[in-house]
Structure 1
């Protein structure tokens, strides 16, 4: 398969690309992507990416992350800014990409644990992940040509625990190998409309 990985140079993207490349052709995309550049906050940039890449069998997004917030100071503007990349960007990868993926191709998005577990300072992240889950469920029954869509919902990644662990005391991290396996299963499997909870 030809697999487009958006966010290929990130913490998850690098090992994911390495694993997929053992069996597939991987196209690495990102703000300064190895193969193609894309800004997921801009619909036109996403359209241009797909045009440059050409035929692909799958698109995986591991790009963008939600900012931390303080509920007492949270505003509509802050929420919208937070949503621009991780929510609307991933949605646009599907809405635009459905015209470019091969028949029976797949989309795999990234949400997160905050859709299901309440933690302080992540209201924006919770809204984003919850929205992505609803989008995946709806898109799965409407996408044409046998296209599939799933989301991987990770907890904190073990590789980032040293940097972010103190922000989420008691949160159990997920091992990178287990997380990568979840993405691979979404691409190489046959499921659709599934939220894969990689909670360690």
Structure 2
């Protein structure tokens, strides 16, 4: 399959890229500052350009989404808007625009996170964005068939515990290898409307 991978340079994206390439897929990498195509998908105009430049695509996988972290009283209205644009709306646009651009039986795999169901202090903006993505996936799945859409929803990565472990006290981490396998399941499998929870 020819797969468009957004956020391929990040910790998760690099692992997903290697996993998909090892399975024989042709992976087209996308990022703001690196990759085969360099664009900012938080801009709907650039999302259109992404599909124009990508050509034939069988599947789209997203491993990108920026959200601010801070306590509720310190987050501003702009912070919440930034979280929605950075993680939810950007991925919604990938699907909205992509349904007419990818293979007839192609798929979309989006990234969300455990905060949609397991909140932490300073994570309300991320929880809001994750919840929006998950609700969208369930709704979009019943409209875009035979194309498919799923979301990967991991907790903190084992490989990121040194940086973020203190924010997730007592919450079991998940290895990037396991998260990448969930992408494989979504892309190569047949399910749709699924939230693959990894914790």
TM range (shorter): over 0.9
Partner of 1:46: 47
Superposed displacement of residue 73, structure 1: 2.5
Distance 2:107 2:34 in 1: 21
Task: Identify the residue that residue 31 of structure 2 maps to in structure 1.
Answer: 30
Structure 1: distance between partners of 2:110 and 2:150: 6
- SS of the equivalent of 2:96 reads helix
Corresponding residue number in structure 1 for 2:156 = 156
Displacement of 1:76 in angstroms is 2.1
Residue deviations 1:15-35 (CA, integer Å, cap 9, x gap): 111111121100001112321
Count of residue pairs brought into register by the alignment: 198
Give the secondary structure class of the aligned counterpart of 2:59. strand
Whether 1:4 aligns to 2:7 is no
SS in 2 for 1:156: coil
Q: Moved runs in structure 1, 4+ residues, more than 4 A? A: none
Task: Give the structure 1 partner of residue 183 of structure 2.
Answer: 183
Tell me the TM-score normalised to structure 1 length.
Answer: 0.96
Partner of 1:126: 127
Give the conservation status (yes or no) of the 8 Å contact 2:121–2:167.
no
Unaligned runs of 5+ in 1: none
Superposed displacement of residue 49, structure 1: 0.8
Note if 1:143 corresponds to 2:144.
Answer: yes
Moved more, 130-139 or 158-167: 158-167
Query: CA shift at 1:65, angstroms?
Result: 2.7
Q: Deviations over 1:152-198 (max 9, x none)?
A: 00100111111111222222110111111111100000000000001
1:77 corresponding residue in structure 2: 78
Give TM-score scaled by structure 2 length: 0.96
**Equivalents in 2 of 1:24, 1:11: separation in Å?**
19
